[in-house]
Chain A
């Protein structure tokens, strides 16, 4: 069995907006969500910019409809808000016998709460509030969301660093395509934490001016937070409901760079392979891709390696491409989900999103990212890349109806 995978709903929350409408507004008005760190107490708060969702956990609880007294990690709250929006916008209505799943992705899980716990625990291991640590593991956020949405059949979490939520959309698509599930919510969520802020800072790959993807002067990424999910349904499920789908997931490819634990290979072997696999799966020629939403983190290494892989695959006819990370920051385990929503929006809004903060072409590449918003573009097939530590590379292709 190999059925089509319809996208019927999208949900998003990021530094650029708390729902699809707000986020789309930001995309259309080239408004970046990068700014000062205000919600985490860190010694780096005045020197390292981030892309925060400007809402306290209490406010997020209200948005998510979570009771005040319950302990939820920030990742779970961000996730539930986006999942609720995705489900509502899909118009999905449950009926007996429908098999439903949720594939969520995260890299920090409940680390924000673990940090509160650990501050006390490290001094005395009888200290630290247990309710701050029971949300630590990756599965917690997915189970919280699954519980709130009544999903039981397949509930799981993917954690492949920065490609995590691209892999959840990949797995979700395969579960629909193979007929195992009728409907699946797939995407990911990650919150900003002291752990990741210091982790990426220790690797010296955070640009203190804010990220500048594919710019010759780029000097690192900017961390962000948020969540992005798609509702995927089978052909029968869409026919049954009579709703109109937004787009389809037409291709996906996962490959491992197998080069280095954190660095990408100079010619982007893994990136090349994952894009090629996605094209093969979609039965598309490279010339049929209308827009590439690149991984484009803004690190010296990623953008060169990804750029070279794109050049290898598309040769002299590279389609319009951009990285939207100067809008949202790099949201790690949420990035693939957020950028999947951006890719669907590119198709439905007929737009090509700009690479903000781009000014100087990279010496090593023959092509440049789109610096300005392009409207009324013919966007039928969008390729979206997500690459992670460990060389975990995943590419997705979205196609208009």
Chain B
């Protein structure tokens, strides 16, 4: 199973939506504990009437999806699949709060309607009048991965020739407060671009939206291909993780989910001195922060690296000679429970 990537787009804490050069001039946030997306000016991108009712994640999701289709030269995909770890958090919070504030009476239904995880996939379908297959995964560190797996299967089954697949997660003040109390984040403010150096507990919070236009057919738009997606839940030992990463095309480089958490990053170190030794390793969470679907952003970066045959300085963790890049393996784990690998290859 494989899928050609004919276009992609992301909205992230970097200028990834607007600036072609965003990796050469990365955003440097100093003294922060979370990273928020650099949102585009929506004027001209979204119908102002429709945008008024949309929460931030819907606006970002729809905008990145439409740009992705435009980049791929695609009017209407045959299927739309999204993944989101936490869903539409802002609207969920708004409706929950209104229940208590108004003592369950005369509630505005809009935030309830827009609180469901499938809101963005459904909104895109509605805007495009797309009657094709439509689904949404909401599963922590597997949300994007299973959306991709579903897409690869659909292409193989012939259910669709072109699929819009993406992932979205938003960070709200309440979500940050709660996850901070849960101990997910570094207590000390950091510089994001030096995230890998801190060796303390926790990461920095992040968010983002990324979409891919996947195709059964290679066209002049094709920049790379997804050739493998694998997941592993709750491994009992290191050998299970190694097993997940074996028996696929040998990568020319790996993109690791290093997030600055001293404990979680140990696993990446172990792989680098094991099966990934002598393979250049890149990282990306200093650019976008930690969130459930960050691998979607990583996948757009991998596609970009293959397209440009250039490794951005800012993603490097070591000094290596980079030859032709045919296969990039993205390996990530979310709190050592949800482990995944995605292989992006040249086409």
Chains A and B belong together in one complex: yes
Contact of A138 among B87, B123, B181, B232 (CB under 8 A): B87
Q: Check A178 against B153 for contact (C-beta < 8 Å).
A: yes
The segment out of B96-104, B198-206, B245-253, B269-277 that lies at the interface is: B96-104
Q: From residue B31, how far is it (CB to closest CB) to chain A in Å? A: 22
Q: Check A115 against B96 for contact (C-beta < 8 Å).
A: yes
Q: Check B136 against A158 for contact (C-beta < 8 Å).
A: yes
Query: Which residue of chain B lies nearest to A196 when distances are taken between CB atoms in the complex?
Result: B112
Q: Which residues of B contact A161 (CB under 8 A)?
A: 116, 118
Q: From residue B255, how far is it (CB to closest CB) to chain A in Å? A: 22
Contact of B104 among A139, A160, A194, A392 (CB under 8 A): A194
Flag whether A134 is at the interface (Cβ < 8 A): yes
Q: Check A199 against B109 for contact (C-beta < 8 Å).
A: yes
Flag whether B189 is at the interface (Cβ < 8 A): no
Which residues of A in the span 1-55 have a Cβ within 8 Å of any Cβ on B? 42-44
Contact with A along B87-124 (1 / 0, CB 8 A): 10000000111011001110111001111111101110
Flag whether A372 is at the interface (Cβ < 8 A): no
Flag whether A315 is at the interface (Cβ < 8 A): no
Kindly state the interface size class of chain B when it binds its partner: 35 or more
Flag whether A154 is at the interface (Cβ < 8 A): yes
Q: Check B96 against A118 for contact (C-beta < 8 Å).
A: yes
The segment out of B22-30, B126-134, B209-217, B305-313 that lies at the interface is: B126-134
- Binding site of B, secondary structure by majority: helix, strand, loop or mixed? mixed
Flag whether A174 is at the interface (Cβ < 8 A): yes
Q: From residue B338, how far is it (CB to closest CB) to chain A in Å? A: 8
Flag whether B47 is at the interface (Cβ < 8 A): no
Beyond A154-B231, A171-B150, A178-B157, is A390–B133 a contact (Cβ under 8 Å)? no
Flag whether A93 is at the interface (Cβ < 8 A): no
Beyond A147-B234, A152-B235, is A391–B125 a contact (Cβ under 8 Å)? yes
Q: Check B100 against A118 for contact (C-beta < 8 Å).
A: yes
Contact of B112 among A118, A137, A202, A273 (CB under 8 A): A202
Beyond A178-B153, A255-B133, is A157–B139 a contact (Cβ under 8 Å)? yes
Flag whether B182 is at the interface (Cβ < 8 A): yes
Flag whether A220 is at the interface (Cβ < 8 A): no
Q: From residue B174, how far is it (CB to closest CB) to chain A in Å? A: 7
Query: Which of B86, B107, B134 neighbours the largest number of chain A CB atoms within 10 Å of its CB?
Result: B134
Q: Which residues of A contact B336 (CB under 8 A)?
A: none
Compute how far the CA of A104 lies from the CA of B126 in the bound complex, rounded to whole angstroms.
26
Q: Which residues of B contact A257 (CB under 8 A)?
A: 131
Flag whether A153 is at the interface (Cβ < 8 A): yes
Contact with B along A94-124 (1 / 0, CB 8 A): 0000000000000101000011001101100
Q: From residue B131, how far is it (CB to closest CB) to chain A in Å? A: 5
Q: From residue A262, how far is it (CB to closest CB) to chain B in Å? A: 6
Q: From residue A138, how far is it (CB to closest CB) to chain B in Å? A: 4
Q: Which residues of A contact B134 (CB under 8 A)?
A: 160, 254-256, 390-392
Q: Which residues of B contact A296 (CB under 8 A)?
A: none
Flag whether A155 is at the interface (Cβ < 8 A): yes
Flag whether B45 is at the interface (Cβ < 8 A): no
Q: Check A159 against B234 for contact (C-beta < 8 Å).
A: no
Compute how far the CA of A155 lies from the CA of B230 in the bound complex, rounded to whole angstroms.
11
Compute how far the CA of A137 lies from the CA of B142 in the bound complex, rounded to whole angstroms.
13
Q: Check B157 against A159 for contact (C-beta < 8 Å).
A: no
Kindly state the interface size class of chain A when it binds its partner: 35 or more
Q: From residue A197, how far is it (CB to closest CB) to chain B in Å? A: 8
Flag whether A228 is at the interface (Cβ < 8 A): no
Flag whether A146 is at the interface (Cβ < 8 A): yes
Q: From residue A224, how far is it (CB to closest CB) to chain B in Å? A: 18
Flag whether B233 is at the interface (Cβ < 8 A): yes
Q: Which residues of B contact A109 (CB under 8 A)?
A: 138
Q: Check A203 against B109 for contact (C-beta < 8 Å).
A: yes
Flag whether B317 is at the interface (Cβ < 8 A): no
Which residues of B in the span 35-76 have a Cβ within 8 Å of any Cβ on A? none
Q: Which residues of A contact B338 (CB under 8 A)?
A: 139
Flag whether A240 is at the interface (Cβ < 8 A): no
Query: Which residue of chain A lies nearest to B106 when distances are taken between CB atoms in the complex?
Result: A202
Q: From residue B258, how far is it (CB to closest CB) to chain A in Å? A: 22
Compute how far the CA of A67 lies from the CA of B174 in the bound complex, rounded to whole angstroms.
31
Q: Check B122 against A261 for contact (C-beta < 8 Å).
A: yes
Compute how far the CA of A85 lies from the CA of B125 in the bound complex, rounded to whole angstroms.
37
Q: From residue B54, how far is it (CB to closest CB) to chain A in Å? A: 11
Contact of B131 among A159, A180, A258 (CB under 8 A): A258
Flag whether A303 is at the interface (Cβ < 8 A): no
Compute how far the CA of A118 lies from the CA of B114 in the bound complex, rounded to whole angstroms.
19
Flag whether B11 is at the interface (Cβ < 8 A): no
Flag whether B178 is at the interface (Cβ < 8 A): yes
Flag whether B137 is at the interface (Cβ < 8 A): yes
Q: Which residues of B contact A262 (CB under 8 A)?
A: 113
Compute how far the CA of A269 lies from the CA of B105 in the bound complex, rounded to whole angstroms.
34
Q: Which residues of A contact B95 (CB under 8 A)?
A: 195, 198-199
Known: A198-B104, A392-B135. 4 other contacts (CB 8 A): A139-B139, A198-B112, A201-B104, A256-B125
A to B CB contacts below 8 Å, 23 in the list? A115-B96, A121-B174, A137-B140, A139-B140, A139-B142, A152-B234, A158-B138, A159-B116, A160-B121, A160-B135, A171-B135, A178-B156, A195-B96, A198-B99, A199-B115, A202-B108, A254-B134, A258-B125, A260-B126, A261-B113, A273-B131, A390-B121, A392-B134
**A residues bordering B, Cβ < 8 Å?**
42-44, 107, 109, 114-115, 118-119, 121-122, 125-126, 130, 133-134, 137-140, 142-143, 146-147, 151-161, 167, 171, 174-175, 178, 180, 194-195, 198-199, 201-203, 254-262, 269-270, 273, 388-392
**B residues bordering A, Cβ < 8 Å?**
80, 85-87, 95-97, 99-100, 103-105, 107-109, 112-119, 121-123, 125-126, 128-140, 142-143, 146, 149-150, 153, 156-157, 174, 177-178, 181-182, 231-235, 240, 337-338
